[in-house]
Chain A
Amino acid sequence: MLLVSKKITILLFLLITGITSTVANAIDNKRTFCVFDLIGKQGDVFSMMEDYRLEALKWNVDLKLKPYTDEKIAAEDLKSGKCDAAIMTGLRGRSFNEFVGTLDSIGSVPSYDHMEQVLKLLLSSKLTKYMTSGDYEVVGVSPAGAAYLFTNDRKVNSVAKMSGKKIAVLDFDKAQPYMVASIGASPVNATIATFGPMFNNGSVDIIAAPAMAYGPLELYKGLGENGGIANFAIAQLSLQMIIRKDRFPKEFGQQSRKYVWTQYNRAISLIEGNTESINPEYWMSISEKDQEGYSELLRQTRISLRDQGIYNGKMLKFLAKVRCKLDATLSECTAPDKE
């Protein structure tokens, strides 16, 4: 009788401590997630993150979302520890994880089909180790749309004709001024907040922008009657979710990456909606021959940027494998200087 009573007491003790520790975990795992959305709390990214927040509760982490309209400050706050996690563009995210940040490299992901395959493969356990770099781990990548070249003069329909033109470059991405200078054009420093107005008021002749910028920034004003948009993805932009690894449970990263992947179609449908909102008359088709030429030009630039330590070689190699898997006839697949 005494033994049974003792067992019950132990069981009760275990039960109570178990419950207490579960509650304590839920309370302990309150974390600040800094969300870069150019529009702010009312924007698409923040809305997407509200859904993410609910999922994170299932992984026993209670996220407090904080909107940032300046990506630079969000990145700085992640570095200083004010944010336990942050979502930002891959261009900015490269300083936290060179491998995943190289996803946004020029010309390496030519289409959304490629993007889909790339993001699916990034879930592979073979690549998990590359998700972590120092104190940081990338816990999700969402497509933000292809970047296209917008020009105020549709006669500038080839790389050769871009020589001497003023092209806006994002001041923190070292790859952009290099690329612009290498084709003989003049790079003009800009930020995410200023590149649209600079194009619209004629301070620059050419910008690279995703379709989602077309409406809110009224880029049709800069395009005017003579402008055009080259129907050729110069890069695939992405949004990357980065955490301070020690602030989250061990399994959080993979759980998060899996969930973010399930949201791929939702993100693509938003991108497609934005792309369809562009006046069709602005699209300039690029001949297949020219496309091949540009792809090679971009590839050579990537190799050069890799050698300068700006792009991550492993990621470039991985992306090249995806391109060649989807189209084995590409000349780069048999080139001696493969990425």
Chain B
Amino acid sequence: MCVSYLSQRIIRPIVMLATLISVSGCSTIYSLAGNGASKYGQDVMMPYLLTTKDFPLACATGESLTSVIASFGQYTTSVNQLSVLTNMVGGLCVHTQAQKAHLNFLRLAKMNHIAAAQDARIQSKRLHTIAAGRQYKAYQALHSNFGEFGEECPMFSDDYEQLVWILGTVSAVQAVLSDTAGGGEVGVPKNLAPKAIRAAACLDTPRGNIAWWGLPKAIKALLSSILPGAGEEGVDQWEQMAIASKIGDKSGVRISRALMAIGAENAGKIDLLKSLIRDQANSISNTASNRDFVLLDAVATDMIIGLSDSLWTAETGHRTPHGSFGTFWDDAQDDTGLDIDFGDF
């Protein structure tokens, strides 16, 4: 009885495993491990990470896990979706560092410290190149998983796939922008930008925009405003971005406004950019972050603070002062006191 039990529960699986290893080598185990890691990442790790507002922690997690997840890629394709997200997070981490170097460049140039400013600019370019590499890997993982990007829309099996698709599309756009900022060393194909318009269009439906905080509409409109002749005729892309931003406001995930702010800065629309920065400051004090996507909302605010910092630094030499997000150095100050008759005070 005891021998029979042992044989059934312990010995048999061990024998089967040994047979499996001897027949197929370690690849089966790695494949199983990869599938497990992917499942764990998708079901547990990512949802957990998305609820934290601690961006540096998310960064550390994304950066440390990217290689581990990617290493399973040779044994199983199931890690592709997770790779999109970890590479995207890893790209954002370096992008933040590049942004800091850019602020240094602006500050030092303003102080006329030319050699130091040049050094900061070189550093910023190098970091942008690293960011571009990671963001491009996120796109490649997206491509491996869903097939050709920007052609036919994939059949999404669940919400998680849609999330991966839309964030992977953002990564593709970022890869193009980061590579340009870095001097084109990675060689990210420039046609990813127009392809991303069509990729975003796959979810640019009333349901898709509500589910994903207006992001599909925002990506489409932003790129259509940048690429000559890309948008539909007669459509005001800035109006579309404003609609997307409002959807983001309501949902508590304000990435659409971050994209609109990037577009405004890119086009030199400084008044619009300032107004968007003010809107974001108001919005985050009035509407709480969506608790399932706190991280993405925090990243959006960080991106807009980054743009505010650039404006402040170029003008004053320092970034947005503490507690002053949504205000500017040249804001008119209300010095008028109450109309009180002091009499013989």
Contact = CB atoms under 8 A, between A and B. Distances in A.
A193 B228 CA distance: 5
Nearest to A215: B190
Given A47-B183, A273-B187, A42 B229 contact: no
Contacts of A220: 191
A328 interface: no
B265 interface: yes
Nearest to A221: B194
Interface in B198-254: 226-230
A128 interface: no
B229 A41 contact: no
Given A50-B121, A215-B189, A277-B190, A58 B114 contact: yes
23 contacts: A26-B112, A40-B226, A40-B266, A40-B268, A41-B266, A42-B226, A42-B262, A42-B266, A44-B180, A47-B180, A50-B105, A53-B109, A54-B118, A57-B112, A67-B266, A67-B268, A194-B228, A196-B229, A197-B228, A198-B229, A266-B183, A270-B184, A274-B190
A110 B315 CA distance: 45
Contacts of A47: 180-181, 183
Contacts, number: 82
Contacts of A280: none
A216 B193 contact: yes
Given A42-B177, A44-B180, A277-B189, A217 B266 contact: no
B109 A41 contact: no
Contacts of A225: none
Given A47-B181, A69-B267, A215-B191, A194 B114 contact: no
Contacts of B230: 197
Interface in A57-78: 57-58, 66-69
Contact of A54 (B121, B184, B195, B265): B121
Interface size class of A (residues with CB under 8 A): 35 or more
Contacts of B114: 54, 57-58
Contact of A41 (B105, B194, B265): B265
Given A40-B266, A67-B267, A216 B191 contact: yes
Interface residues of B, number: 29
Contacts of A67: 266-268
Contacts of A43: 180
Nearest to B182: A47
B229 A216 contact: no
B117 interface: yes
Contacts of A39: 180, 226-227, 266
Interface string A189-207: 0001110111000000000
A67 B263 CA distance: 12
Given A39-B180, A277-B187, 7 more contacts: A39-B266, A42-B226, A68-B268, A194-B228, A197-B229, A216-B190, A218-B194
A69 B226 CA distance: 8
Contacts of A57: 109, 112, 114, 117
Contacts of A68: 268
